[in-house]
């Protein structure tokens, strides 16, 4: 770096042209070159001049004084001179004073000029600073440009060098290029010649190839033919050898057979002889057998006739001895107990008879006389339609309706005492009159549990209300029922939501006893299954009733008509046979296994020769299921992992799954189903009491009320069918890859089979009781809830099932 003073150009700091590249300027300002400086200098000079004048004057006066003393004598002469000089001095003083004033004026002028110059100087200094900045920027740019320039210069130099080198190399290359071009042209010429030759050769080659292919084809054909011939030859050789062997064997066998044949021929001849002898004997025996059979049949017919006659006579004797009287083909019984017409009608039905129906005048007279001229109730009434009189046609004894002729007393029927709906044969007049049927009847008051308010979550006592209702008198074709067993079933929880309104009597089935009957199909004392709900009594016609099997054994509890030999048993049977189509040797899983349905499912599957795995929620239930013959049972509430327990119970998976529980349980089972497995979706009890909406259920049923959505996570299957764990019980993948069939069902689908199915269930049950069946015959949990006329059970506390 170099520092330079600037030349006369005061406002320097300007960058010079390119001579200054790389040099930094420093400009030092010189005071004397400013206007103010000049003025100051002038003033200084003026002062010096004045000082010099004063000094000159004092020197002059010293000289004059000296001269005065030395030339006192000239004093007077020179006074004049001095005066002159003084005047001259005065004049010059004045002149100097003038000059000073002028100088002062000029000084002021100069000061002004200096100030102006100072202002201009400041302006210029600013401009100079700006210029300096711009200069610096430009310097930087220039430096960058310089650097780039240097780089480019270097690059250019290198390129120049390379260019020079290339130029040097190019020349020999040009030479060799020229040489090569020549050679190439020559080669091109020879290439063209060669190409022509090659094309000719190619043509020849193609021709040869075709010929070769034809030859190869013929060769292959020949080779194949040869191989086939070889194979045939080998086969034939083998066959020949086998035939040779067979021939030898057959020859041997033939010889042996010939020997046996000869032996057998001999034996046959002997047998033929004995056959003829025996045939003769048989024919003789057949003849005597036929004769004997005929004699036996005649004897049997005689015996049967005699037996019938004896039985008939016995029956008549019995009837007669118990007060019955025969007239023509009918029997009559006279009850002397005092009863209303309705009670008498009941009494007749209990005796397997009916109130008397008069078919003829003769019969009417017989009754009158035989009864000792009593008033006799007749089976004649207008209880069904007021004013329309009809004979009861119970058909109990196979009789037809009475004839149209009646023997009304004059003026009858007259409904004299309001409500005269039945008829009596007068003891006096042998004529018929009408009277009230219910003189002594009592109205039945039924107790019924109603749904007080819809269930929220688990049902509680306050959801129910017990109320009494007076029942109407049963009419023709109707019966009065008294509850014996009531059923509390899981379906009541969801169905009450959709089928019932608050205040309705609770839905449900019951085993009931017929205690009054005007319907011969349901005589008093018989038991029926009725869907009349939770009530102690009910009046209904037979259409809604299912008779308990007529030959129901005494040692089987009637409560099973609501369990193993009722709707739950039928559900189990249909789920296994119709939906699962279960086969011998298959493995079945059933949950809620100790319940009414589940316990029968497992037992039927065992009877069918299957392997049965069951889950239940208490250890007592687990023991019970083991007693029933289940192969593997575990308490799903206490196992560490449901998934592992299921796998341990059936390592090869499940062919059939009887689903009673739903929800998470089924999500865990799906991955363990075997290929072509079947799933009978019977129920989903784990969801019935849900209150909070849960996510992940497949879909809510159409009504949206039967269940609430749930969360479910399908565990990642061992099979690796799903690589990612999924949320929600998405069963599709399992169903597709394992080709599963999953079918929901309701027991009523197979209603047409109910009677025969109940008989099958009863047969299995009887086998168990009598010990005649297989080791695993049917046993069933039965209901403990009994209803009596006096009181109703607590539906919440007693809603459990126990086992036989
Ligand atoms: N589709 C149809 O036609 C029919 C379907 N069903 C259905 O069959 C299933 C069983 O009925 P049924 O045998 O009469 O019932 P039960 O009342 O005899 O037994 C039900 C059992 O289910 C189990 N259970 C109850 N709550 C849950 C729960 N939250 N999670 C898991 N298990 C539970 C209990 O056993 P544990 O202590 O072992 O857990 C309970 O004892 C029900 O889902 C029902 O709706 C019934 C009849 C007909
Ligand atoms: C999501 C609910 C599933 C319930 C499954 C279940 O337990 C079904 C049981 C029925 C039961 C229904 C009873 C009374 C309803 C009457 C319906 C009507 O239409 O009248 C009974 O019918 C036998 C089982 O199939």
746 lines ligand 2 (CB under 6 A): yes
What is the pLDDT at residue 321?
78
Cα-to-centroid distance, 453 and ligand 2 (Å): 20
Nearest CA to ligand 2 atom 18: 499
What is the pLDDT at residue 583?
98
493 lines ligand 1 (CB under 6 A): no
Two tokens, residue 102:
């002028």
CA distances from 685 to 596, 660, 678, 682 (A): 13, 6, 20, 10
Share of residues in the chain with pLDDT > 70 (%) = 77
CA distance 433 to 378: 10
Chain centroid to CA 575: 21
Nearest CA to ligand 1 atom 36: 617
CA distance 460 to 112: 117
743-747 long-range contacts (CB < 8 A, ≥24 apart) are 743/579, 743/678, 743/679, 743/680, 743/681, 744/681, 745/574, 745/575, 745/578, 745/579, 745/680, 745/681, 745/682, 747/567, 747/570, 747/571, 747/574
Residues with Cβ within 8 Å of residue 353, at least 6 apart in sequence? 331, 333, 396, 397
CA distance 223 to 24: 104
CA distances from 166 to 159, 162, 163, 176, 484 (A): 10, 6, 5, 15, 122
- Nearest ligand 1 atom, CA 685: 43
Beta bridge partners of 782: 802
Q: Averaged over 236-259, what is the pLDDT?
A: 86
CA distance 596 to 572: 9
Cα-to-centroid distance, 545 and ligand 1 (Å): 25
Cα-to-centroid distance, 748 and ligand 2 (Å): 8
What is the pLDDT at residue 507?
96
pLDDT digits over 519-545, tens only?
889 988 899 999 999 999 999 988 889
What is the pLDDT at residue 53?
67
> 376 in helix, strand or coil?
strand
Residues with Cβ within 8 Å of residue 305, at least 6 apart in sequence? none
What is the pLDDT at residue 684?
92
- CA trace torsion 88, 93, 94, 99 (10° rounding): 130
User: Per-residue confidence at 593, pLDDT binned at 50, 70, 90?
Assistant: very high
* Strand pairing category for 611-616 and 632-635: parallel
236 lines ligand 2 (CB under 6 A): no
What is the pLDDT at residue 762?
93
CA distance 49 to 197: 125
Q: Averaged over 784-789, what is the pLDDT?
A: 38
Q: Looking at the CA of 744, name the nearest ligand.
A: 1
What is the pLDDT at residue 358?
81
The answer to whether the beta carbons of residues 368 and 357 sit under 8 Å apart is no
Q: What is the side-by-side order of every strand in the sheet holding 673-681?
A: 632-635, 611-616, 587-590, 654-659, 673-681, 741-744
pLDDT digits over 563-578, tens only?
999 999 999 999 999 9
Position 155 pLDDT exceeds 60: yes
Cα-to-centroid distance, 467 and ligand 1 (Å): 29
pLDDT digits over 679-736, tens only?
999 999 998 888 765 454 443 334 444 445 554 444 444 444 334 444 566 788 899 9
CB count within 10 Å of CB 649 equals 20
Nearest CA to ligand 2 atom 3: 683
CA distances from 107 to 71, 95, 168, 505 (A): 46, 18, 81, 134
CA distance 153 to 192: 52
CA distance 548 to 207: 98
What is the pLDDT at residue 393?
59
Nearest CA to ligand 1 atom 37: 617
494 lines ligand 2 (CB under 6 A): yes
User: Per-residue confidence at 72, pLDDT binned at 50, 70, 90?
Assistant: low
What is the pLDDT at residue 68?
47
User: Per-residue confidence at 339, pLDDT binned at 50, 70, 90?
Assistant: confident
Report the residue among 561, 700, 708, 746 best suited for mutation to probe ligand 2: largest number of ligand atoms under 8 A from its CB: 746
Cα-to-centroid distance, 763 and ligand 1 (Å): 25
Position 372 pLDDT exceeds 80: no
What is the pLDDT at residue 15?
33
What is the pLDDT at residue 413?
74
653 lines ligand 1 (CB under 6 A): no
Position 599 pLDDT exceeds 90: yes
Angle at 14 between CA 11 and CA 16, to 5 degrees: 135
The answer to whether the beta carbons of residues 558 and 527 sit under 8 Å apart is yes
Position 31 pLDDT exceeds 50: no
Two tokens, residue 56:
């000159």
Q: Would the CA dihedral through 173, 176, 180, 181 be positive or negative?
A: positive
Residues with Cβ within 8 Å of residue 650, at least 6 apart in sequence? 587, 589, 611, 613, 632, 672
CA distance 558 to 561: 6
- Nearest ligand 1 atom, CA 615: 38
What is the pLDDT at residue 530?
97
Position 612 pLDDT exceeds 50: yes
What is the pLDDT at residue 19?
31
CA distance 804 to 798: 17
H/E element, 433:
strand 432-435
Nearest CA to ligand 2 atom 1: 706
- Nearest ligand 2 atom, CA 567: 23
Cα-to-centroid distance, 575 and ligand 1 (Å): 14
Cα-to-centroid distance, 538 and ligand 2 (Å): 21
- Nearest ligand 2 atom, CA 746: 25
490 lines ligand 2 (CB under 6 A): yes
What is the pLDDT at residue 39?
57
What is the pLDDT at residue 85?
86
Report the residue among 451, 487, 491 best suited for mutation to probe ligand 2: largest number of ligand atoms under 8 A from its CB: 491
CA distance 640 to 663: 18
Nearest CA to ligand 1 atom 34: 592
Position 738 pLDDT exceeds 90: yes
CA distance 196 to 188: 12
- Nearest ligand 1 atom, CA 574: 3
pTM, whole model, 2 decimals? Answer: 0.53
What is the pLDDT at residue 643?
95
> 768 in helix, strand or coil?
helix
- Judged by average pLDDT, the poorest of 56-60, 102-106, 765-769 is 56-60
Position 319 pLDDT exceeds 50: yes
DSSP state of 22: T
- Nearest ligand 2 atom, CA 491: 7
Residues found in the chain: 804
Cα-to-centroid distance, 658 and ligand 2 (Å): 17
Nearest CA to ligand 2 atom 19: 499
Q: Could you tell me which residue, 335 or 595, shows the higher pLDDT?
A: 595
Chain centroid to CA 475: 52
CA distance 710 to 688: 11
CA Rg value for the chain: 69
Cα-to-centroid distance, 593 and ligand 1 (Å): 8
What is the pLDDT at residue 5?
29
What is the pLDDT at residue 797?
42
What is the pLDDT at residue 693?
54
CA distance 293 to 490: 63
CA distance 442 to 440: 7
Q: Averaged over 499-506, what is the pLDDT?
A: 95
Q: Looking at the CA of 574, name the nearest ligand.
A: 1
Residues with Cβ within 8 Å of residue 516, at least 6 apart in sequence? 346, 474, 479, 480, 524
Report the residue among 592, 616, 662, 785 best suited for mutation to probe ligand 1: largest number of ligand atoms under 8 A from its CB: 592
Q: Could you tell me which residue, 475 or 289, shows the higher pLDDT?
A: 289
CA distance 476 to 100: 165
Q: Which of 302-311, 415-424, 597-606, 715-724 has the highest mean pLDDT?
A: 597-606
What is the pLDDT at residue 721?
38
Report the residue among 685, 744, 782 best suited for mutation to probe ligand 1: largest number of ligand atoms under 8 A from its CB: 685
Report the residue among 458, 490, 498, 802 best suited for mutation to probe ligand 1: largest number of ligand atoms under 8 A from its CB: 490
The crossing angle, in degrees rounded to 10, of helices 75-321 and 35-70 is: 160
The rounded mean pLDDT for the chain is 80
- Nearest ligand 1 atom, CA 568: 47
pLDDT digits over 115-140, tens only?
998 988 898 888 888 888 888 988 88
What is the pLDDT at residue 703?
41
- Nearest ligand 1 atom, CA 681: 1
pLDDT digits over 159-184, tens only?
888 888 888 888 888 888 888 889 88
Position 288 pLDDT exceeds 50: yes
pLDDT digits over 376-431, tens only?
888 888 877 777 777 775 433 333 344 444 567 767 777 766 677 888 877 666 66
The answer to whether the beta carbons of residues 795 and 464 sit under 8 Å apart is yes
Nearest CA to ligand 2 atom 20: 499
Q: Averaged over 355-363, what is the pLDDT?
A: 82
């Amino acid at each position: 770096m170099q520092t330079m003073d600037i030349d006369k150009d005061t406002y320097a700091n300007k960058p010079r042209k390119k001579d200054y590249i790389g040099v930094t300027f420093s400009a030092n300002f010189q005071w004397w070159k400013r206007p103010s400086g000049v003025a100051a200098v002038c003033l200084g000079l003026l002062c010096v001049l004045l000082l010099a004048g004063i000094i000159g004057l004092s020197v002059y006066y010293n000289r004059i004084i000296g001269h005065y003393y030395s030339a006192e004598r000239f004093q007077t002469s020179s006074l004049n001179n001095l005066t002159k000089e003084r005047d001259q001095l005065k004049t010059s003083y004045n002149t100097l004073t003038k000059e000073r004033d002028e100088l002062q004026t000029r000084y002021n002028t100069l000061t002004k000029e200096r100030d102006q110059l100072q202002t201009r100087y400041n302006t210029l200094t600013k401009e100079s600073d700006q210029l300096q900045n711009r200069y610096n920027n430009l310097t930087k740019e220039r430096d960058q440009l310089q650097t780039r320039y240097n780089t480019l210069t270097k690059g250019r130099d290198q390129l120049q060098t390379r260019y020079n080198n290339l130029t040097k190399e190019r020349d020999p290359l040009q030479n060799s290029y020229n040489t090569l071009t020549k050679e190439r042209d020559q080669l091109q010429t020879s290439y063209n010649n060669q190409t022509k030759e090659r094309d000719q050769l190619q043509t020849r080659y193609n021709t040869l190839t075709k010929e070769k292919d034809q030859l190869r084809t013929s060769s292959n054909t020949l080779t194949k033919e040869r191989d086939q011939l070889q194979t045939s030859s080998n086969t034939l050789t083998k066959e020949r050898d086998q035939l040779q062997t067979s021939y030898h064997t057959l020859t041997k066998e033939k010889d042996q057979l010939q020997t046996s044949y000869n032996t057998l021929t001999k034996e046959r001849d002997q047998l033929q002889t004995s056959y003829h002898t025996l045939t003769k004997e048989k024919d003789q025996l057949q003849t005597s057998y036929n004769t004997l059979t005929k004699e036996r049949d005649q004897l049997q017919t005689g015996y049967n006739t005699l037996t019938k006659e004896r039985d008939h006579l016995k029956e008549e004797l019995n009837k007669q001895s118990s007060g019955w009287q025969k007239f023509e083909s009918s029997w009559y019984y006279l009850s002397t107990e005092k009863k209303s017409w309705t009670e008498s009608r009941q009494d007749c039905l209990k005796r397997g008879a009916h109130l008397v129906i008069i078919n003829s005048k003769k019969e009417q007279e017989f009754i009158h006389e035989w009864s000792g001229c009593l008033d006799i109730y007749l089976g004649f009434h207008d209880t069904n339609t007021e004013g329309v009189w009809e004979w009861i046609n119970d058909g109990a004894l196979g009789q037809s309706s009475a004839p149209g002729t009646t023997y009304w007393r004059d003026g009858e029927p007259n409904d004299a005492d309001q409500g005269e709906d039945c008829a009596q044969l007068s003891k006096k007049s042998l004529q018929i009159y009408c009277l009230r049927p219910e003189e002594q009847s009592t109205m039945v008051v039924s107790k019924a549990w109603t749904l007080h308010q819809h269930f929220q979550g688990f049902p509680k006592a306050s959801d129910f209300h017990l109320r009494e209702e007076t029942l109407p008198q049963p009419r023709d074709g109707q019966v009065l029922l008294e509850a014996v067993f009531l059923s509390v079933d899981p379906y009541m929880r969801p169905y009450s939501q959709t089928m019932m309104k608050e205040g309705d009597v609770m839905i449900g089935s019951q085993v009931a006893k017929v205690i009054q009957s005007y319907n011969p199909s349901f005589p008093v004392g018989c038991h029926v299954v009725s869907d009349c709900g939770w009530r102690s009594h009910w009046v209904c016609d037979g259409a809604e009733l299912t008779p308990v099997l007529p030959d129901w054994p005494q040692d089987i509890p009637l409560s099973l008509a609501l369990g193993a030999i009722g709707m739950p048993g039928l559900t189990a049977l249909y789920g296994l046979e119709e939906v699962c189509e279960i086969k011998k040797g298959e493995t079945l899983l059933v949950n809620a296994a100790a319940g009414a349905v589940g316990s029968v499912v497992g037992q039927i599957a065992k009877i069918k020769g299957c392997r049965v795995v069951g889950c239940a929620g208490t250890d007592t239930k687990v023991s019970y299921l083991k007693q029933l013959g289940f192969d593997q049972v575990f308490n799903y509430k206490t196992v560490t992992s449901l998934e592992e327990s299921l796998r341990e119970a059936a390592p090869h998976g499940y062919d059939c799954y009887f689903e009673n529980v739903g929800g998470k349980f089924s999500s865990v089972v799906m991955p363990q189903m075997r290929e072509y497995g079947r799933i009978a979706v019977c129920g989903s009890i784990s969801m019935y009491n849900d209150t909070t909406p849960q996510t992940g259920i497949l879909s809510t049923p159409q009504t949206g009320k039967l269940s609430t959505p749930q969360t479910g996570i399908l565990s990642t299957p061992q099979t690796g069918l799903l690589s990612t764990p999924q949320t929600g019980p998405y069963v599709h993948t399992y169903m597709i890859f394992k080709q599963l069939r999953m079918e929901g069902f309701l027991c009523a689908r197979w209603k047409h089979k109910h009677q025969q199915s109940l008989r099958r269930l009863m047969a299995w049950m009887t086998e168990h009781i009598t010990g005649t069946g297989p080791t695993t015959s049917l046993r069933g949990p039965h209901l403990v809830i009994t209803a009596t006329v006096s009181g109703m059970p607590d539906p919440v506390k007693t809603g459990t099932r126990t086992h036989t």
